[in-house]
Amino acid sequence: MTKTLLLIHTGGTISMTTDERGAVTPGLHNPLLGEINKLGLADEIIEIDAFNLPSPHITPAHMLELKELITRTLQEQPADGVVITHGTDTLEETAYFLDLTLDLKIPVVLTGAMRSADEIGSDGVHNVLSSIRVASDGGSRGKGVLVVLNDEIHTAQNVTKTHTSNVSTFQSPQYGPIGIVTNGHIHYHHAPLLRTRFNVDKLGGRVALLKVYAGMDSEFLFHAADAGYEGIVLEGLGQGNVPPSLMPGLQRLLTDEIPVVLVSRCFNGIAQPVYGYEGGGRMLHEEGVIFAHGLSGQKARIQLLLALSSGITPEEIAESFKGH
């Protein structure tokens, strides 16, 4: 069966080289561009150089532009799968943004590299080839947006970067990869049960992400309310608790009808309303704080931004986080 794939480049280490100072930088030309087509892994690869940006430069506006590019291109030129190369620092956020906004059955796979294109042992080409194989595999259909690096297949919802430089940096704490890439086959051993999706054609609202720490007071929360933020995500302590000194700020936000989403700063386990003391999860839940079960802070921020941008009601926003 013939296969047509859409390959989109957005920049990142996978397309960078080392300059005369020894610094890894983006060049004027992406060294991957045009090279993958020569390998004959698909009958046709539609290749698009969308951005040439380090991933710390990627914003939600770029993510929305990428979503619209994919949708528009597939309407004009149907394909059997999509592969996106991306810098690793914010790859998980772009992957989750696309997972929440794309309504596609075909596989969409993000990949990147921890070593630059000219570095000895560069992992970029191998990761792209593995991603093309995953995107071409019928078993990848209907599993949402996937992330493939180091011969592992992860869901956009659960994957996160865990090491600053190791090639095995992408892991899914608590859940593990949903599949692996071997020499001959793509093997899946489980699949996501639930997906959340938002209909968004433009972004609105400002959402802040704050990590809770011992003795934290309400100053930043008051500043956020005064500065016009429309949503707050807190990485709380343990199962979802905060210092009591944070309660006045939280109550101000909730009185102003600014949604507050709580996750745990622990990367295993879920936030849940267990403790009944002041600042404990039970009190936060009763005050109206939304608990996001199992999401990281950065992904909860992406989801809250999209929920606010979609125009759904506060009740529907809270409901959208219950699937995690």
Say whether 169 is catalytic: no
What is the rounded CA–CA span in Å between residue 279 and residue 262?
Answer: 12
Q: Which of 122, 129, 124, 123 is nearest to 36 (CA)?
A: 129
Question: Please, how many CA atoms are within 13 Å of residue 165, restricted to the half-sphere of its CB?
Answer: 1
**CB of 4 within 8 A of CB of 44?**
yes
Environment class of residue 201 by beta-carbon count within 10 Å: exposed (0-12), middle (13-18) or buried (19+)? exposed
What is the rounded CA–CA span in Å between residue 9 and residue 286?
Answer: 45
Residue with tokens 């309504």: 103
- Taking the CB of residue 13, how many other CB atoms lie within 10 A of it? 25
Fill in the amino acid letter for 35: E
**CB of 165 within 8 A of CB of 157?**
no
Residue of 13, 94, 111, 155 marked active site: 13
Q: Which of 235, 289, 234 is nearest to 259 (CA)?
A: 289
Hey, is 234 helix, strand or coil? strand
List residues bridging with 83 in a β-sheet. Answer: 7, 109
**CB of 66 within 8 A of CB of 99?**
no
What is the rounded CA–CA span in Å between residue 279 and residue 89?
Answer: 32
- Taking the CB of residue 260, how many other CB atoms lie within 10 A of it? 20
SS (H, E, C) 256-315: CCCCEEEEECCCCCCCCCCCCCCCCHHHHHHHCCEECCCCCHHHHHHHHHHHHHHCCCHH
Q: Two tokens at 321? A: 């986080």
Q: Give the residue numbers marked as catalytic.
A: 13
